[in-house]
Amino acid sequence: MSTTGLEIFKTRHLLKPLAWSTVAVLTLSMFGCGNDTEQSTSGPISTEGKNAAQIAVEAAKPLCQDGKTITIVWEAGLQSLDPKNFSGPKWEEETGCKIEVVEVPTSEMFTKIMQEHRANTGAYDALNVIPAWMPDLAQAGALEQLDSYVDKFGYRGELQTIASTYRDNQMTVDGKIFGFPDDGDVFLMYYRKDIFARDDLKSAYKNKFGEDLVVPTTWGQFIQTGQFLTDALKSEGIYGASMFREPGYGNFMFQERFRNEGGTFFDSNMKATVNSASGVKVFKDWVTENKFMPKGVEKFGFVENLAVFVKGESAMTISWPPYGRFAAGYLENEEALSWVPKTTIADKVGYALPPGGHPQLAAGFALSVASTSKNKELAYLFIQWLNSEEISNERVQLPYALRDPFRDSHFTNEGYQALWPDAKEYLAALSAAAESGLLDLSLIQTDKYEEALRQGISRLWAGENPQTILDDVAVEWDKITAQVGVEKQKTVYESWAAKSGAYPN
């Protein structure tokens, strides 16, 4: 199915009412075989002297001797090019298991996985889970606990080389492993090095504010600098900043900034505090910032904001890791990315943490196994192989798929560092972002809380009062909590809040 650039990124990043109740499903089935009994490798597994990918391949080969087909239901769009063009053919070559890729719209995935789980059909074996939904899925019994497989196939050592923020926050529920962090989604600030280095701008800024012109590290600096640059560069057609503001993206941006401003989502009694002074400040600051951004920025999504930045029309922006690769021109010869605007700033982009220093680990994926699978061991071996040090280092460098670095070795990979002149600095910034990143809020029925916030952001762009909007959002959040059960939800929230990536400190 042909997908435009806008549709691709709406599929991956644009939140609709259920869009982030998301599970990309990897279905592993017997080709022409109705056997309902899970097969297992015979005898003990020798792991000595082998890496995790080699162990997985060796253990999978006996299960793949009869021409099995592994059907992979994956997120539609660019993401699916990983199993279709790279990992699928490679797995077939190494094990004999064939790969059939089924692309599924993101907004349908959660519903499908839950329907299959409740029907207990065993249709799905391996799952690609958005980490924020792991507690919901684990509590529903949809995910297989992976600890016994990890031990059997000697994977604990390599799991420790996943960057700590992802490993410690996106792998377990109640201390048990339910997924392997597999995508380093995190926000990063991208800025024009040439603009911040201009002597005329540095002098004018110093004269006006008595301070040096630097890349902002606080939101107050961001507002001051953004307005100054817009005023100074408007004759050149350049804005001080641009941002995606569409409510689906705004949900993530609010979660990040709210916590960097000192906000907490709930009090000790599980009453929503999203309408605190911190929340109101975020909304008011957004309205202020839009005045020095391009006209119509309230409707900007991923692609619209990307176009403004790579055309050289904004000095600063914040987004996921692909912006850094697109702006560098690393992917411009890929047919699958022909829709991406040609960059005019390939040698002019710098990378930094967003103001506040604690960026959102927005969305991402973790590999899991379905609890109703009839081929659990083969499903496990496949995700261990995909997630392994060896294979993941290749997957995150694919020019067409959107898997972002998530292992310590990804950030220091010499081949990756050489892909474009500033790639080493890019990876260093991503590593720093991973170390200080903030988790997406993860509760029972998180999608309902997010939808209430998205509706609030829409009202903000319609001109309503920030305090009134957030008061209404808080009321709606309290209703959702009551429907779930205050004590039940409180237990989930406290477990989430205890994780190192929940709040800045």
* Residue keyed to tokens 């020019």: 399
Selection from 418, 411, 434 nearest residue 184 by Cα: 434
More confident position, 83 or 361: 361
302-355 confidence digits (pLDDT tens): 989 999 999 999 999 999 999 999 999 887 677 777 778 889 999 999 999 999
Q: Domain range spanning residue 262? A: 187-358+425-505
Domain count, the chain: 2
Q: At what angle do helices 277-290 and 247-260 cross, to 10 degrees?
A: 120
Are residues 57 and 63 in contact, defined by beta-carbon separation less than 8 angstroms? no
pLDDT of residue 202: 98
pLDDT tops 80 at residue 76: no
pLDDT of residue 395: 94
Number of residues written out for the chain: 505
What is the residue-wise DSSP string for 415-479?
Answer: HHHTSSTTHHHHHHHHHHHHHH-EEPP--TTHHHHHHHHHHHHHHHHTT--HHHHHHHHHHHHHH
Domain-embedded: residue 417: no
* Residue keyed to tokens 């640059």: 229
Is residue 261 located within the same domain as residue 135?
no
Task: Compute CA distances 299 → 22, 219, 222, 247, 332, whole Å.
Answer: 24, 21, 21, 8, 26
Query: Which of 374, 406, 438 corresponds to the end of one domain?
Result: 406
Is residue 94 located within the same domain as residue 143?
yes
pLDDT tops 90 at residue 111: no
Is residue 234 located within the same domain as residue 303?
yes
pLDDT band, very low/low/confident/very high, at 77 (cuts 50, 70, 90): confident
pLDDT band, very low/low/confident/very high, at 66 (cuts 50, 70, 90): confident
Is residue 433 located within the same domain as residue 340?
yes
pLDDT of residue 367: 93
Q: Is the dihedral of CA 392, 79, 113, 174 positive or negative?
A: positive
pLDDT tops 70 at residue 128: yes
Q: Which H/E stretch holds residue 367?
A: strand 366-369
Query: Which of 406, 437, 469 corresponds to the end of one domain?
Result: 406
Query: Following CA atoms 121, 78, 458, 108 in sequence, which dihedral angle do they give, to the nearest 10 degrees?
Result: -10
Domain-embedded: residue 245: yes
**198-207 — which CB contacts under 8 Å span 24+ positions?**
201/229, 201/232, 204/228, 204/232
CA–CA distance, 5 with 371 (Å, rounded to integer):
35
420-475 confidence digits (pLDDT tens): 999 999 999 999 999 999 999 999 999 899 999 999 999 999 999 999 999 999 99
Domain-embedded: residue 452: yes
Token pair, residue 376, equals 């659990």
Could you tell me the CATH number of the domain that includes residue 41? Answer: 3.40.190.10
Percent of the chain with pLDDT over 70: 90
Domain-embedded: residue 419: no
Q: Is the dihedral of CA 296, 297, 300, 302 positive or negative?
A: positive
Domain-embedded: residue 154: yes
Is residue 331 located within the same domain as residue 458?
yes
Average pLDDT over residues 369-386: 92
Is residue 9 located within the same domain as residue 111?
yes
Average pLDDT over residues 97-119: 78
Is residue 102 located within the same domain as residue 204?
no
Are residues 58 and 153 in contact, defined by beta-carbon separation less than 8 angstroms? no
pLDDT tops 70 at residue 265: yes
More confident position, 45 or 296: 296
CA–CA distance, 53 with 384 (Å, rounded to integer):
7
Question: 414 — phi, psi (to 5°)?
Answer: -65, -35
pLDDT of residue 45: 67
DSSP lists the bridge partners of residue 73 as 102
State the average pLDDT for the chain.
Answer: 88
Is residue 39 located within the same domain as residue 75?
yes
Q: Which of 20-34, 76-90, 159-173, 450-464 has the lowest mean pLDDT?
A: 20-34
Average pLDDT over residues 174-196: 96
Is residue 164 located within the same domain as residue 19?
yes
pLDDT tops 70 at residue 20: no
Q: Which residues contact 189 (CB under 8 A, 6 or more apart)?
A: 215, 316, 317, 318, 351, 352, 353, 354, 355
pLDDT tops 50 at residue 13: no
pLDDT tops 50 at residue 222: yes
pLDDT band, very low/low/confident/very high, at 44 (cuts 50, 70, 90): low
pLDDT of residue 1: 38
pLDDT band, very low/low/confident/very high, at 478 (cuts 50, 70, 90): very high
Q: Which H/E stretch holds residue 24?
A: strand 23-26
Is residue 179 located within the same domain as residue 317?
no
pLDDT band, very low/low/confident/very high, at 4 (cuts 50, 70, 90): very low
Is residue 159 located within the same domain as residue 13?
yes
Is residue 282 located within the same domain as residue 349?
yes
Domain-embedded: residue 411: no
Selection from 497, 454, 459 nearest residue 477 by Cα: 454
pLDDT tops 70 at residue 24: no
Query: Which of 379, 406, 433 corresponds to the end of one domain?
Result: 406
pLDDT of residue 390: 97
pLDDT tops 90 at residue 375: no
* Residue keyed to tokens 């590593």: 431
Question: 231 — phi, psi (to 5°)?
Answer: -60, -40
Please tell me the pTM assigned to this model.
0.88
Domain-embedded: residue 412: no
Domain-embedded: residue 420: no
Q: Which of 30-44, 68-82, 89-103, 208-222 has the lowest mean pLDDT?
A: 30-44
